[in-house]
Amino acid sequence: MASALVFVVTGIGWAAFEQLRDGLSTADVTGGFKAADGVTDILLVGNSSRTDAQGNPLPPEVLARLGASAEGGQLSDTVILLRIPNDGRRAVAISLPRDLYVDMPDGYGRHKLNSAFPRARNETASQMTRDGTDPAAVREESTAAGRRLLVETVEGLTGVDIEHYAELNLLGFARLTEAVGGVEVCLTEPVDDPKSGAEFPAGPQTISGTEALAFVRQRYGLPRGDLDRIVRQQVFLAALADKVLSAGTLTDPGRIRELIDATQQALVLDKDLDVLDFAARMQGIASGDIRFVTVPIAGPEQVAGEGEVLTVDRAAVRQFVNAVIRPDPNGEPNPAAGEPEVNVDVFNTTSIDGMAGRVSDTLGGDGFEIGAVANAAPRQTTVVRYAPGAQDTGDSVSQALGDLPLHEDTGLKAGHLQLYLADDYTGPERHTGDGGSGSVDGTSAQDHTPPEQGTAGAQAAPAPAPPIDADDVPCVN
């Protein structure tokens, strides 16, 4: 898709575009579904497959260069719902942690999100093999079944009808970062993690190839494990979008040729995605008009046969998704049926237990309507984010809590605000107050930051991360 955008913007030629399109791997995933809501919804999947886009096993020397063993499965380790308005307004990328404990359709039960793909693939392959089906057909059909179950599972969780599918493998990710000449990132602390191969100094730096792969794959040694890895991925993808859409990339024929080659080896698209039409519509979205967020999480739970999972409230997830997308082509909010218009979401980004719940109670007592109340990824400064036209309400929230910083966020729906409480917050209810229950949602979910964990998925906090824009390079863990 990035390569197609290059052709449209630069007019590099129809023959070159045909070369790209003819070499792309496609799959029948969504069946040609077209939503009538004035947007394009694409499920972006980064998997741990040790094959290229055509299904060919990667040679041992390539796996060694990537720092990956030959035994890895085809788990969906990165799942992002990308919503792009057809009129060129701001796009939003919604991350769904791989360990979300979700309901799967077609009788598959409740399991971790990243297991949807292999569950359907393996079951389909077993049945087709027993029926004596040709191995090539087994591979193609079982892989398609895995992709479809993943799409349907995300649709059931978010309430969004997904039109298109794009899948990227390990090799492809590394090559795409090299094709754009590297991506700038920033770390708050130096990193040395032998498991992922991540070894970086603190501060800003440009990385590509295997270094970039290690940066987005590291989860051991991070304070919040896989949730901090998601923040890494969002920051990196935001910077990558900025780099791909920059003039230096779009006007460099050598970079364009590398993008073509990398895309053909890396990417699988559903066959109904018109790449040229998509790229034409993407022209209206500048690099800074892509916003990255993460769905809220209720907390961890030990489940027999699954290990540590991240539990979610589907209603809360759907409310959150509705709060960050604007499905109406005229820009009007379209909240889910029966749900009240949300004014203020409150997110605790600190290790202070129960602060989001207590601060939201304070705001509710002052007459503000409260929406989501949860934990979020750590950040350095407290901020009240308000939608265009909602500055007066933002000022009122700010003054009620001690004159907090304000920031207009064009990605929020009309009348909506989000409050992120950081360690610098000194307003009401910073510490435990009398009668404070620590509840983040009025029920049993606890608002607290988890202790450091050594395994993926062992995170105790809900995780709607502070929005990350594609024109930012924030420093992260």
DSSP code per residue over 344-403: EEEEE-SS-TTHHHHHHHHHHHTT--EEEEEE----SS-EEEE-TT-HHHHHHHHHHTTS
- Whether the pLDDT of residue 323 is over 50: the answer is yes
Comparing 15 with 94, the larger pLDDT belongs to 94
Q: How confident is the model at residue 336 (pLDDT cuts 50, 70, 90)?
A: very low
Helices 314-324 and 135-158 cross at an angle (nearest 10°) of 80
Question: Using CA atoms, how far apart are residues 95 and 154, in angstroms rounded to an integer?
Answer: 11
Examine the pLDDT at 282 and tell me if it is beyond 70. no
Confidence label for 100 from pLDDT (cuts 50, 70 and 90): very high
Mean pLDDT of 431-438: 40
Q: Which two tokens stand for residue 402?
A: 């001690």
Tell me: the pLDDT tens digits for 26-40? 777 876 556 556 678
Q: What is the CATH number of domain 2-296?
A: 3.40.630.190
Facing residues of 45 across strands? 79, 167
Distance CA 189, CA 278 (A): 39
> What would the mean pLDDT of 452-459 be, rounded to a whole number?
32
pLDDT of 261: 75
pTM, 2 dp: 0.67
Question: How is residue 287 annotated by DSSP?
Answer: G
Regarding predicted confidence, which is higher, 373 or 213? 213
Percent of the chain with pLDDT over 90: 19
Cross-strand bridge partners of residue 82: 42, 93
Q: Which residue has the higher pLDDT, 280 or 328?
A: 280
User: Is the sign of the CA dihedral 262, 182, 58, 275 positive or negative?
Assistant: negative
> What is the model's pLDDT at position 141?
92
Q: What is the pLDDT of residue 303?
A: 92
Where do the domains of the chain lie?
Answer: 2-296, 334-452
Under 8 Å CB-to-CB from 229, ≥6 apart: which residues? 216, 217, 218, 219, 222, 456
Give me the pLDDT at residue 276, please.
62
Lowest mean pLDDT among 86-95, 107-116, 332-341: 332-341
Q: What is the mean pLDDT of the chain?
A: 74
pLDDT at 4 over 60: no
- Residue whose pair of structure tokens reads 């009808």 in the numeric block: 161
